[in-house]
Structure 1
């Protein structure tokens, strides 16, 4: 199999460009006998016809199973070491009312980071006591609403916020449970922007200020101090950082016990997922067991009881569950000059070149900004068919007026990829729709849940009318002129219709 010299070192041409590597795709994504991608029994072509593209397709059973495994694994492992665990779903990864219901029904709590995320979880009917409010700059209005609805916990992020939350709680006549976010100084092995415990960054208070901060918290009758909170980063594959973070936090935790109860410790999470075939995330059961052993060992060394431990698995619940479907548009082959070989040549030959195939799709950085923001890697496969044609290196480009608008930096597709094909990009459940924008006035895509051969919209896709409705300079006459006739795909985005695999065939 030919490997392109333009491919990154980690990427190899696949033996079968139609294969769906198990760690990357949701559990119910398969290549049907027809060659088409099916997700939970619904063909990709049926999804595109019903809802248009781009479209986020969530494998509902996959989400529910991952949530249940996370809850069960951590509870079981911490019962093994004589304690208990609380597991929180990260609303910021992706949130809508349906997903909030799925994860809480599976046994998870939810962490929210804004008034908007709080509003969505409450609209889903989630018990406010199962929520925790994060954030480095919570507004007074956000704090007031959180306390008034009886939120379970507020994470204090600064010394200033201690008094602010105490005053809000006192005004409502309640004793508000709080944790204190600590900047442990542990450097997670992840992207610079995803490492959240470095010393020079906006989250938390340094370890040197923790004991003073806790004394201030305990001085307020309206605050109930639960424990410390740490989050060392996101998309983390190894547990070394958590070992060090636990050691540092439990040392402080032990000293705090001498002056009052400290029933909990939140070690954060941010567990990594597979975006490409070479990513190897650990099973959640192994992570849970490792966390329990880490905490038990440190507590034994310190001579203290094992606290209740809270964790935040992050993207690992929702990320692998979702696939984004796009329609292929323009395709062009770009000849790229390869780097010159080392050494001096008196009469150098023409520089060698290689071809990169740019495949443009009908979305881009407006529905997945992570490649532009973090240099994140993704995978891609043809969704509407399979092909035996030799694979070629492709770069999946978006349609925005930015050279950095890349969805997939490098992967292999069959060489006969053509306009009108459907391209599927897996592992887009986390931080894709939630970071979506209207750049270039593109509409944000719908989100569709699939399960047992049935598809249903759970977030309506935007239309151009939605975009125009916010522009206060548009008159009734100009609005009519600006609005194109609705297409079937646009109409489909506004409807919560359902399709079945049987109907699609």
Structure 2
């Protein structure tokens, strides 16, 4: 059953607002507000200017918001670990959203960078990131990707299979000078699965990533036998969009137990607990403050180490969504509006916009919930139940499953969907041959293009059968 087929007509949490123009602070960038005419402004730039200069759909990213979140996360974990005499390293998880400009923002705020492919590594390097502060993930890294990572001096490679251990060992032996070794972490599955505020702890894992806890010691022993590899610690990721610290605490208990066992064979200086810290997408989401997360997770590790009488390792974390998610807003233009009778006592407005699942796949993939507001004006019309849908040939092409918008929403209105900074651009596609939108950075009253939008000519340029003499003017 697809995510769209499993939706309730109206989510239980959704309540008609007193004012369908109001911006719920938790889901918007701090700079978002309505001007004297009721139009939305982000980073000091009005949506009318953004539409005129860059068109729609348009990803808008608030640079000061990204920087502030990066700084806050780094400071929270640095303070929490500092109280125990160890260090913290925060990696920006590039899979959430990656461009050279964003890499420059987060690294200038003191973050390292986590990448998962050769393409992501290339972006980080093109931005000038220090290779020693890059971590490389992936369950099926190619030989070329591993060679590139070792050649440029990537600080750590997270190994994911026995084959990769041998493959990487051979590559490092060939590419590194005598006496040098590539730092590696071993990804393990703690058996803890966390999602939002719930978590489930099991004894076994059935997934493509990592090693079972019971197998990890043998993997580490093999790494320690290979002179060109240096084992520096364990890595674990327990889920995404997590609220609270309970799942992290349970995972820490299991990881520290293994960590203590591995200390018998040599140093284990690092423990990477991943990320997955949640953000607010709707008015009812209540994400855990980053300071509370940092204190709770670090205290859990310290407690487990103290119980076992072992020194606490340095800790690493990989938040992505928590840094960039709330900083993003996607702008669309409304194309059509039609009322649809859902039942005898329920109807909704279907509001079709000029984007859809090609620029935000999360609702179709996961049933993810988002919010929306008319951005170009305010309205005194009564709130009406609405579903914002895209332009693609799929019934599951839903941008916002359920929201209350002013009943007079009409073609030509600008619609803004907040909290789209993470996993929207990075999951974007050309489905139905729709060009991917541009990305614009805003801040201090200025807007600038940081990722060029695609054109139909770009799509045709990849089609070797297209006759260039017949495709001129396709971007008009």
Stretches of structure 1 that go unaligned for 5 or more consecutive residues are 338-351, 487-505
> Across the two proteins, how many residue pairs are aligned to each other?
465
Equivalent position of 1:233 in the other structure: 239
Distance, in Å, in 2 between the alignment partners of 1:419 and 1:199 is 49
Distance, in Å, in 1 between the alignment partners of 2:12 and 2:110 is 41
- Is 2:28 the partner of 1:25? yes
- Is 2:81 the partner of 1:78? yes
Equivalent position of 2:195 in the other structure: 189
Cα shift at 1:353: 3.1
Aligned residue for 2:107, secondary structure, equals helix
Aligned residue for 1:457, secondary structure, equals strand
Aligned residue for 1:419, secondary structure, equals coil
- Is 2:143 the partner of 1:140? yes
Cα shift at 1:477: 2.6
* One of 154, 157, 169 as aligned partner of 2:157: 154
Distance, in Å, in 1 between the alignment partners of 2:201 and 2:93 is 16
* 8 Å CA contact retained: 1:234, 1:314: no
Aligned residue for 2:60, secondary structure, equals strand
Aligned residue for 1:12, secondary structure, equals coil
Equivalent position of 2:217 in the other structure: 211
Equivalent position of 1:454 in the other structure: 446
Distance, in Å, in 2 between the alignment partners of 1:33 and 1:278 is 28
Cα shift at 1:389: 1.1
Superposed CA deviations along residues 340-390 of structure 1, whole A, max 9, x for unmatched, are xxxxxxxxxxxx331111000000000001000000000000100011111
Equivalent position of 2:261 in the other structure: 255
Equivalent position of 1:306 in the other structure: 312
Cα shift at 1:440: 0.5
Cα shift at 1:198: 6.7
- Is 2:114 the partner of 1:111? yes
- Is 2:351 the partner of 1:359? yes
Matches within 5 A, 1:61-76: 61-76=64-79
Cα shift at 1:154: 0.1
Equivalent position of 2:464 in the other structure: 472
Cα shift at 1:42: 0.4
Distance, in Å, in 2 between the alignment partners of 1:197 and 1:429 is 35
Superposed CA deviations along residues 260-302 of structure 1, whole A, max 9, x for unmatched, are 0001101111101000000000111111111111111111001
Aligned residue for 1:247, secondary structure, equals helix
Cα shift at 1:19: 1.0
Alpha-carbon RMSD across the aligned residues, in angstroms, is 1.7
- Is 2:129 the partner of 1:126? yes
Superposed CA deviations along residues 161-214 of structure 1, whole A, max 9, x for unmatched, are 11111111110124100000001111213599x999971100000000111111
Structure showing greater radius of gyration is: 1
Distance, in Å, in 2 between the alignment partners of 1:91 and 1:152 is 16
TM-score between both structures, scaled by the size of structure 1: 0.90
- Is 2:55 the partner of 1:41? no
* 8 Å CA contact retained: 2:80, 2:294: yes
Distance, in Å, in 1 between the alignment partners of 2:77 and 2:462 is 45
* One of 270, 286, 289 as aligned partner of 1:280: 286
TM-score between both structures, scaled by the size of structure 2: 0.95
Aligned residue for 2:192, secondary structure, equals coil
Aligned residue for 1:251, secondary structure, equals helix
Distance, in Å, in 1 between the alignment partners of 2:389 and 2:203 is 33
Cα shift at 1:82: 1.5
Distance, in Å, in 2 between the alignment partners of 1:195 and 1:133 is 27
Distance, in Å, in 2 between the alignment partners of 1:175 and 1:485 is 51
Moved more, 252-261 or 372-381: 252-261
Equivalent position of 1:441 in the other structure: 433
- Is 2:445 the partner of 1:422? no
Equivalent position of 2:98 in the other structure: 95
Distance, in Å, in 2 between the alignment partners of 1:150 and 1:479 is 44
